[in-house]
């Protein structure tokens, strides 16, 4: 233990890479950037194929909704990448390991579920409902990211208190949009195991929200008044 402490104290970190610097923030945001770059690339490929099929045949309502849902996911991914690259360093963040675990699990657990779950044959009504939820959820998420701007983050961090647009009514509109989209996507993979993992992912998201609010309360004195006049995620309910 003593040798480990000595090793840590002997490592000299360049000033430009220390916590609170732009380079440090870019390094911490790299997993999020890579994740959304991969999402954008995948959706662009899917969108290109869908557009080619859609333009060469008769009008297909489900195909149209599928194209629009791909566009909405692509918009969210590109917005995230731009905002993370341009954002300033955080002025405060949650301490400890659990807030970080919750952030990663809340973000990536549903994605892993979608990638590993076997596809199921579902009826056209379920497909249309699924795609419509993805479209509405991602469109709302894009709206939230647009207002959140350079304050976007994976971890529970504070940069600027955003209270306009969708944040005027609820404190976590981005998570609301994402969860609607995830729930919609999972309709095509529904099973007891999928429902269980989705419930676990939602639990991580709720825990993540509580930490974000603690950080924002500590960083911005006006947050308390903002929290009293808004709902956490569901207007009129919660």
Classify 165 in phi/psi space as left (phi over 0), alpha (psi -120 to 50) or beta: left
Examine the pLDDT at 11 and tell me if it is beyond 60: no
Q: Which long-range contacts (CB under 8 A, 24 or more apart) does 5-12 make?
A: none
Calpha distance 9→196 (Å, rounded): 44
User: How many whole angstroms separate alpha carbon 84 and alpha carbon 150?
Assistant: 7
* Bridge partners, 157 (sequence order): 93
pLDDT in tens, 133-147: 999 999 999 999 999
Mean per-residue pLDDT over the chain, rounded: 85
* Owner of token pair 């979608």: 114
How high is the pLDDT of residue 201? 94
* Among 130, 137, 129, CA closest to 75: 137
pLDDT band at 46 (very low <50, low <70, confident <90, very high): confident
Strand residues in 122-199 grouped as ranges (E): 157-158
Comparing 20-29, 82-91, 158-167, 221-230, which segment has the lowest mean pLDDT? 20-29
Quick one: pLDDT band at residue 118, thresholds 50, 70, 90?
low
pLDDT band per the 50, 70, 90 thresholds, residue 7? very low
């Amino acid at each position: 233990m003593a040798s480990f402490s000595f090793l840590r104290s002997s490592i000299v970190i360049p000033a430009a890479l220390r916590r609170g610097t732009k380079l440090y923030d870019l390094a911490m945001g790299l997993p999020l950037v890579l994740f959304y770059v991969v999402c954008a690339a995948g959706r662009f490929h899917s969108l290109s194929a869908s557009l080619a099929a859609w333009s060469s045949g008769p009008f297909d309502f489900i195909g149209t909704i599928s194209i629009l849902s791909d566009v909405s996911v692509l918009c969210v991914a590109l917005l995230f990448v731009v905002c993370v690259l341009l954002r300033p360093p955080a002025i405060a963040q949650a301490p400890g390991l659990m807030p970080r675990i919750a952030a990663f699990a809340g973000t990536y657990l549903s994605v892993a579920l979608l990638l590993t779950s076997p596809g199921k044959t579902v009826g056209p009504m379920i497909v249309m409902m699924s795609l419509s939820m993805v479209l509405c959820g991602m469109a709302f998420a894009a709206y939230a990211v647009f207002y959140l701007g350079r304050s976007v983050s994976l971890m529970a961090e504070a940069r600027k208190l955003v209270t306009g647009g969708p944040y005027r009514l609820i404190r976590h509109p981005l998570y609301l949009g994402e969860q609607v989209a995830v729930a919609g996507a999972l309709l095509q993979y529904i099973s007891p195991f999928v429902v269980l993992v989705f419930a676990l992912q939602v639990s991580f998201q709720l825990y993540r929200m509580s930490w974000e609010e603690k950080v924002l309360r500590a960083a911005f004195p006006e947050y308390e008044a903002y929290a009293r006049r808004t709902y956490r995620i569901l207007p009129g309910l919660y």
